[in-house]
């Protein structure tokens, strides 16, 4: 795990892994930059990290009770690694223990397919913040809490360009993040975001004094001080981005960045806020406004291009073009039509801090189950929320069970299968085909899923993947033995067998036979049994 030495102590996750404890509720997680990356790699495509704790994978999308669509992206952004393959292997060195959690183009391209594949994403999870999201909330209050964000906000370099791209294309109803150790809420109006900033806005330099900086709040003597500089050993991964990290280097992307700087007034005194965003954005209380409604403070213009560029050459140069990752200038952004697959006009964003006294690390959000008439997806391919939800209800997921059930998203299974040949486990990433060809491959994979997986792919995850410890738990015999090259995780084996793809993540050693490729039984309530290998290592 990548973290400063003073934090290298065993936490309580080992108790959940060894099944001494069990999560109190069904939990869905993604990876950040201080995780057990070797263990998460075992479940690259997703899997149970412990009973009732499901990992979405390095990128993933699942359904809850057949209707709530949750997608997510693990890791954080660093431009030099974006186009690389997943070359890191255990044991990690000082470099690979960090690069292993840097988001790759492969994950972003797969997630971008969700724009046109299946219903709208309801919830998106990420560790990093989308680039520029701070402009849709109380920017001044954020700077009061984190003054060292000022320069990055002014230069439009706070956050992840790939996540900005996904936010603009997928337009989920909710987006939840973490990473920067501060609670922050925002409300993104996607139609307004397609317009560029006013060209008359002066550039804020590092020497510019704040014009209308709101007064700082009184310090709380009982508050636990968080050391944000320990977010990573590298300064540019602790919320202090460098140009190489953001990828703002030359060409069209440089033009986009230069058109997106903030004036002192925009940065310090005129944030677009509706009441208390921490409460309003996530709760339907009396202060909330209808979706798409904003009351800008006098004089502010926070419209700016949200459809971002993130094609990065080796070394960090912006160069690529394509449907899934496209560079647009300010002028192009103002003329960009609404994405065909995204139906939501607004996204409610919430980032939470890390646990501590009065740090804003927890918030409960109630999401009502939509009516059947609302669940049907418009202009999407075949499989809708309605059919998956009907399947879940008929099998007792909604009414007869004490907790929600997770189902595979049939469209995501199609994407995983279609993109499987392009997964690189070497330093150089495998070039992806043109967008039109990718669409064809996904359509072919979707037809295969519909034909070969029960209920056309909307199958409960627990029927295919069950938690299985691959390494000894802490204190158990063999726990301190030398670390093998990898552990073969039976959950990854089972998912690859379900999809008829090769397990390139952690296949069984050559001396052991491979799991035969076969599909689950036709009866959806019958658990899928796959022969298991692994647990002992290489």
pLDDT tens digits along 353-393: 988 878 889 999 999 887 653 444 444 444 455 567 665 66
pLDDT for 99 beyond 50: yes
Radius of gyration for the alpha carbons in the chain, expressed in angstroms and rounded: 23
DSSP state letter for 217: P
SS3 category, 224:
coil
Q: What is the pLDDT of residue 226?
A: 35
pLDDT for 428 beyond 60: yes
Length, in residues, of the chain: 538
Structure tokens at 199: 């060209």
Residue 525 lies in a domain: no
Reported as type and span, the H/E element at residue 153 is helix 150-154
Residue pair 123/69 in contact (Cβ under 8 Å)? The answer is: yes
Q: What is the pLDDT of residue 480?
A: 76
Reported as type and span, the H/E element at residue 430 is none
* Distance separating alpha carbons of residues 410 and 443, to the nearest angstrom: 12
Mean pLDDT of 271-276: 34
| Top-confidence residue, 111 or 3 | 111
Instruction: Give the mean pLDDT of the chain.
Output: 72
Q: What is the pLDDT of residue 396?
A: 54
Residue 143 lies in a domain: yes
pLDDT for 248 beyond 90: no
pLDDT for 317 beyond 50: no
Residue 528 lies in a domain: no
Residue 532 lies in a domain: no
Structure tokens at 169: 């294309």
* Distance separating alpha carbons of residues 164 and 162, to the nearest angstrom: 5
| Top-confidence residue, 287 or 365 | 365
pTM equals 0.72
> What's the half-sphere exposure (Cβ side, CA atoms, 13 Å) at 455?
24
Mean pLDDT of 419-427: 97
How far is the CA of 482 from the CAs of 10, 367, 479, 536, 537, in angstroms? 18, 46, 9, 11, 10
Task: Please state, as a whole number, how many other Cβ atoms lie within 10 Å of the Cβ of residue 362.
Answer: 9
Mean pLDDT of 317-344: 38
Helix, strand, coil % in the chain, rounded to nearest 5: 30, 10, 60
Q: What is the pLDDT of residue 203?
A: 29
Residue 538 lies in a domain: no
Q: What letters, b where the CB count within 10 A reaches 16 and e where it falls short, cover 265-290?
A: bbbbbbbbbbeebbebbbbeeeebee
Mean pLDDT of 158-172: 96
Residue pair 325/108 in contact (Cβ under 8 Å)? The answer is: yes
The count of domains in the chain is: 1
pLDDT for 104 beyond 60: yes
**Angle, to 10 degrees, between the axis of helix 161-170 and the axis of helix 105-112?**
10
Residue pair 521/528 in contact (Cβ under 8 Å)? The answer is: yes
Q: Which of 532, 432, 389 is nearest to 47 (CA)?
A: 532
Residue 523 lies in a domain: no
Residue 163 lies in a domain: yes
Residue 530 lies in a domain: no
Residues spanned by the domain of 148: 5-499
């Amino acid at each position: 795990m990548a973290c400063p030495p003073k934090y290298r102590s065993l936490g309580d996750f080992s108790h959940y892994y060894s099944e001494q404890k069990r999560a109190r509720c069904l939990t869905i997680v993604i990876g950040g930059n201080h995780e057990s990356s070797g263990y998460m790699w075992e479940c690259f495509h997703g899997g149970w990290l412990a009973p009732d704790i499901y990992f979405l994978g390095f990128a993933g999308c699942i359904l809850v009770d057949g209707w709530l669509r949750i997608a997510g992206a693990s890791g954080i952004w660093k431009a030099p690694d974006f186009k690389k393959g997943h070359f890191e292997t255990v044991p990690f060195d000082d470099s690979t223990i960090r690069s292993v959690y840097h988001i790759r183009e492969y994950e972003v391209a797969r997630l971008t397919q969700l724009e046109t594949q299946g219903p709208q994403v309801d919830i998106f999870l990420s560790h990093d913040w989308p680039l520029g999201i701070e402009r849709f909330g109380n920017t001044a209050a954020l700077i009061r809490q984190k003054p060292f964000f000022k320069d990055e906000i002014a230069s439009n370099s706070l956050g992840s360009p790939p996540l900005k791209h996904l936010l603009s294309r997928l337009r989920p109803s909710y987006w939840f993040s973490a990473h920067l150790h501060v609670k922050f809420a925002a409300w993104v109006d996607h139609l307004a975001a397609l317009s560029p900033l006013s060209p008359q806005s002066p550039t804020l330099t590092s020497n510019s004094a704040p014009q209308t900086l709101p007064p700082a709040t009184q310090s709380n003597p009982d508050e636990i001080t968080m050391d944000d500089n320990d977010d990573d050993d590298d300064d540019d991964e602790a919320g202090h981005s460098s140009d190489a990290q953001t990828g703002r280097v030359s060409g069209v992307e440089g033009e986009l960045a230069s058109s997106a700087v903030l004036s002192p007034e925009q940065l310090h005194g005129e944030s677009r806020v509706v009441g208390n965003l921490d409460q309003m954005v996530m709760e339907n209380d009396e202060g909330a406004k209808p979706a798409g409604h904003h009351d800008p403070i006098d004089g502010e213009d926070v419209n700016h291009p949200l459809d971002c560029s993130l094609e990065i050459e080796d070394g960090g140069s912006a160069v690529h073009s394509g449907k899934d990752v496209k560079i647009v200038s300010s002028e192009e952004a103002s003329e960009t039509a609404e994405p065909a697959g995204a139906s939501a006009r607004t996204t409610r964003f919430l980032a939470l801090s890390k646990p501590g006294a009065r740090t804003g690390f927890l918030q409960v959000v109630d999401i009502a189950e939509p009516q059947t008439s609302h669940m049907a997806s418009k202009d999407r391919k075949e499989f809708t929320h309605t059919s998956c939800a009907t399947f879940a209800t008929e099998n007792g997921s909604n009414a007869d069970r004490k907790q929600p059930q997770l189902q595979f998203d049939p469209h995501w299974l199609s994407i995983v299968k279609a993109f499987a040949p392009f997964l690189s486990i070497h330093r150089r990433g495998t070039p992806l085909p043109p967008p039109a060809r990718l669409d064809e491959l996904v359509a072919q994979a979707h037809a295969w899923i519909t034909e070969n997986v029960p209920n056309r792919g909307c199958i409960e995850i627990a029927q295919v993947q069950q938690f299985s410890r691959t390494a000894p738990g802490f204190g158990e015999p063999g726990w301190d033995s030398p670390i093998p090259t990898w552990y073969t995780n039976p959950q990854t084996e089972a998912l690859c067998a379900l999809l008829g793809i090769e397990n390139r993540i952690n296949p069984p050693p050559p001396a052991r036979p491979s799991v035969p490729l076969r599909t689950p039984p036709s009866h959806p309530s019958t658990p899928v049994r796959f022969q298991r290998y692994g647990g002992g290592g290489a």
